[in-house]
Amino acid sequence: MTKRTAFIGAILSLIPLGQPLLFKTGIILFSSYIIITHPEKLLANSFNDDYQNAIKIFREGNYNKAILQFSEMLKQYPDTSTEWKSLIYLYLSMSYGYLKKHYAELEFINKAIDLNPNSDIFYIQRSMSKGSLGDKKGSCSDLLIAKDLGFKDAKDYFEKWGCN
């Protein structure tokens, strides 16, 4: 019995040594479990952080950097929803527009419209893009589509841009 008691005592005395190992292993295993079972939540948080960061850069007026950020997001999150992709294309279009690169501006807003043809804001952006390229007829046509989709200030823009 004394050998058994000594053995149990020896084992119990080793517990404090193994406790950090067990605790750290538990954290690693739990973290791995979360990553494996809920990757969409982690990606969503990561996507939201990246999106907010890119929006901040855009609002600060650093359009070249915003273009890089939004373009990187399209590569990094290829499975994001069409709604989010269309918004990224909108910001890419606006960034190119501010840089006076109107053909690129038009290219990206067309991609946004292809993904989400029922949003008036995309047609307003394309209307401005076409107006910048001197296509008054196309600009007014897109403004009319935006009006049909519910754009409330269309009348003001029709007058401002000389559309009939």
pLDDT in tens, 56-75: 999 999 999 999 999 999 99
Q: Is residue 45 part of a domain?
A: no
Q: Are residues 12 and 59 in the same domain?
A: no
CA-to-CA dists, residue 17 to 13, 27, 111, 137, 154, angstroms: 8, 17, 60, 79, 73
pLDDT in tens, 25-59: 444 444 444 444 444 444 457 889 999 999 999 99
pLDDT in tens, 99-141: 999 999 999 999 999 999 999 999 999 999 999 999 999 999 9
Judge if pTM exceeds 0.75: no
Q: Are residues 57 and 27 in the same domain?
A: no
Q: Are residues 29 and 57 in the same domain?
A: no
Rounded to 5°, angle at Cα 143 from 138 and 147: 150
| Domain harbouring 84, CATH code | 1.25.40.10
Structural domain for 23, as ranges: 1-37
Q: Is residue 48 part of a domain?
A: no
Q: Is residue 145 part of a domain?
A: yes
